[in-house]
Structure formats: C-alpha cells, structure tokens
Amino acid sequence: MPGVKSLFVPGPTNVPESVRRAMDVPMEDHRAPDLPNFTLPLFADLKKVFKTECGKVFLFPASGTGGWEAALTNTLRLGDKVLASRFGQFSHLWIDMCTRLGLEVELVDCEWGTGVPTEKFREILAADKNHEIKAVLATQNETATGVQSDIAATRRAMDAANHPAMLYVDGVSSIGSVDFRMDEWGVDIAVSGSQKGFMLPAGLCIMAASERAMELSGLDTMHRCYFDFKDMVVTNATGYFPYTPPMTLLRGLRVAVDRLLDEGLDNVFARHNFLAEGVRRAVAAWGLDLCAKGPEWYSDTVTAIMVPEGNDANEVIKHAYNRYGLSLGAGLSVVAGKVFRIGHLGDLNELMLMSALSGAEMAMRDVGIDVVPGSGVAAAQEFYRQNSPKLAMAAE
C-alpha cells in the first residue's frame, strides 16, 4: 500500500526529520583537531537530560544491554550479591545477565503488570545486617508490560533501611521521556539507549555514573575491556573516544538533545503523560484491560493492552501490519499472545497517535475482537480535544 508505514512499537521510535538530516553527512575524521568543540558540549548537555551535575556520562557504541554490562562489570566484583525484582521481560534479562556474569542475585519475583516492590526491598535491605547486597537493580519502565516504577520511592526504601547498596536504574525506555532525576534520587548508574526517547536509530548506549560508582570502578572489579570506564574517562576528557565512535549517530544525538532541551524536559514529560492518557482512555472505551494492574503502574511511554481470553494478540499485530501498515509491539515471554503494545514516546503528537488507535481498532475488529467501531478513537479524540499538556501550556 502506498504511503509511510506507521511505527508504534516502543522502540525503535520515529526519527525526526531534523535528526535524520543531521546524520546524513559525509564521513568525517573522528580524530580531527576540532572534534572536542563538538563532543565536550554534548557530554555537558547530556548531563542535563540525566539531571546530574556530578555524574559522568558515557556513550558506548552498543544498545542498552551493553550499558547494563558496563554498569555491572565496572563497579562489582565476581560473586557480589545484587537485589533485583522480575516483573517483565527486560527486568528478567537484566537478572539473567547478572547470573551469567557470575553475580549472586537475590530475586523478588513479582506479578507481571506490577513494578519494583519498594516495601519488600526495604524489608530485605533492613535484614541485610552485614551489607552483603552491593547493588539494587530497578527497571524504571518495563517495556514488556507497560509498567512504570517509582525510582524516588525505591531510594526512600533504601534510605529507610539505612543500607549502603548502590542504586542502578534501567532507563532505556524512560530517560528523555518521563521524569528522571539522577542526583536527587541518589541513582549511581543509569542506562538508556538511543532508539527510544532520544529519537535516534539503535546503536548508542547512553549512560551516566555517579561519583561513587566512578570511585568503585577503579577498584578490583570484574574483567572487561571494551566497556572499561577508565579508557573512556581518559579519552573523553580530551573530547575523543578510545575507539572509533559512530559519528553519524553522535551528530544526530546533538540535534536530538537540542530538541529535548528546547522543548523543556518538564514539557517533554507532560506531553508523554498527556499522550499516554489518551491511549488509556481508548482502551477503557474498548472495554479492554491494561497489563498494568493499577494506575500507580501506568507507563507514559508504552501501553500493553490485554486481548479478551480466547483471542491471540499476535493475530492483531500481524493483521495490523499486513492490512494497514501499522507496527504494534508484541507480547513477550509470559504475556506473549496475550497483549499487544502501543508505543507512545519520542517524536510524537496527538494526530500521529490517533492513527495507531484507529489502526489497532480496525485490526481488532477484523480478527473478531468485539469492540464498538469508533469507540476508542472517539474517547481519545475527546480527551485530546478537551485537554492539553499542562506544563507545555504554562510555558507558552
């Protein structure tokens, strides 16, 4: 079918035209004498996105998974114990990596559709009198289930237990889209990726480490080479990289960060909340349930929608793609075939998102899911028409 395919998976996200143009440049010398004039201000502005003054930003040519490995191997020793909860595919994969790297995981299994169990974490940390737990792992946004966790509450639980463990946050599908405050929340390492809220193709791990994490990275930690913080620190200080950087992605990142800062981070967060609420209104009008078990878990970057029992969400996804050119996210692992996902993060507005809701509604009806035609679309329309992102309006 003619026209542009509609991409509404929760990553990769749409790449704005200005970012695409910034990347469409001839190859350049990554050792050029004037490169630091470009890279050093970029590092400084990325710290603003993470909301850290003291942290160190790293840009590894990798996905967010590479960032996880860098975080663990630079700051922990073989056999160290970490505390983590599993409530979706991506929190599960982080735990799996810990085990495969030789760490001991104290695991809290949670119902999929819920998030970080802060009170349970507080109890476990309070009972850890010998401080064997060295790090707490928290996934801010579980992309597989459309669940967003409260990182500030996780920090409060750690403080209430008076425990010295470090706090690591998976912010791959949250940083640059929903509120994140590295310094204020006492986050020691935060990991993100280029293909989500940063509105770029995949290929860059964008992460930050606290002063405390950097101090630990100089000790006898786990073996690593490519992901060694020390190599990055030495060369980044001069505006260069220890190995060949993906300059086209970095050029795009410069424009993407400018877009975020120009819009204003608080306005970016308000826009994402506004768009997400319209999707949730549509789901309610369809008479369907979210995978997220309650409002306290609702994600502002992705909504996972449960199909009625006896239906296969994969049929919705395949039909939406083949008939309408609409890409929806699939259910993963435990929720495979039970949910389809609408990603609503990055470069996005109401009218763009209405196309996803319309296509999803048509696809569901086509495969036999009994939703009232126009119901979800109308509910979202009325919400968007009668409301606006509050902080964005206040800034005008």
Pull the structure tokens for residue 258: 């400018």
What is the mean pLDDT of the segment spanning 31-59?
A: 98
**What is residue 220's predicted lDDT score, i.e. its pLDDT?**
84
What is the mean pLDDT of the segment spanning 343-372?
A: 98
Q: How confident is the model at residue 1 (pLDDT cuts 50, 70, 90)?
A: low
**What is residue 395's predicted lDDT score, i.e. its pLDDT?**
42
Pull the structure tokens for residue 117: 């169990």
Q: How confident is the model at residue 393 (pLDDT cuts 50, 70, 90)?
A: very low
Sign of the C-alpha dihedral computed for residues 322, 328, 329 and 330 taken in this order: negative
Pairing outcome for strands 166-170 and 189-193: parallel
Kindly tell me if the per-residue pLDDT of 22 is higher than 60: yes
As a whole number of angstroms, the distance between CA 268 and CA 261 comes to 9
What is the mean pLDDT of the segment spanning 364-375?
A: 98
Radius of gyration from C-alpha coordinates of the chain: 21
Closest CA to 91 of 43, 44, 141: 141
Q: How confident is the model at residue 219 (pLDDT cuts 50, 70, 90)?
A: confident
Contact present, 270 and 215 (Cβ < 8 Å): no
What is the mean pLDDT of the segment spanning 151-161?
A: 98
Q: What is the CA 262 to chain-centroid distance, rounded?
A: 21
pLDDT tens, residue by residue, 78-131: 999 999 999 999 999 999 999 999 999 999 999 999 999 999 999 999 999 999
The residues facing 158 across adjacent strands are: none
Pull the structure tokens for residue 110: 């949670």
Percent of the chain with pLDDT over 70: 98
Kindly tell me if the per-residue pLDDT of 391 is higher than 80: no
Q: What is the pTM of this model?
A: 0.95
Q: If you average pLDDT over every residue of the chain, what do you get?
A: 96
Kindly tell me if the per-residue pLDDT of 69 is higher than 60: yes
Kindly tell me if the per-residue pLDDT of 301 is higher than 50: yes
Cα three-residue angle 147-152-154, rounded to 5 degrees: 75
What is the mean pLDDT of the segment spanning 173-199?
A: 98
Kindly tell me if the per-residue pLDDT of 392 is higher than 90: no
Identify the residue with better confidence: 66 or 395.
66
DSSP for 177-240, written as a single string? TB---TTTTT-SEEEEETTTTT-S-S--EEEEE-HHHHHHTTSS----STT-HHHHHHHHTTT-
Q: What is the CA 173 to chain-centroid distance, rounded?
A: 1
Kindly tell me if the per-residue pLDDT of 226 is higher than 70: yes
Q: How confident is the model at residue 276 (pLDDT cuts 50, 70, 90)?
A: very high
Mind listing the domains of the chain with CATH numbers? 6-12+263-395 (3.90.1150.10), 17-262 (3.40.640.10)
**What is residue 394's predicted lDDT score, i.e. its pLDDT?**
44
As a whole number of angstroms, the distance between CA 346 and CA 13 comes to 6
Pull the structure tokens for residue 395: 């800034």
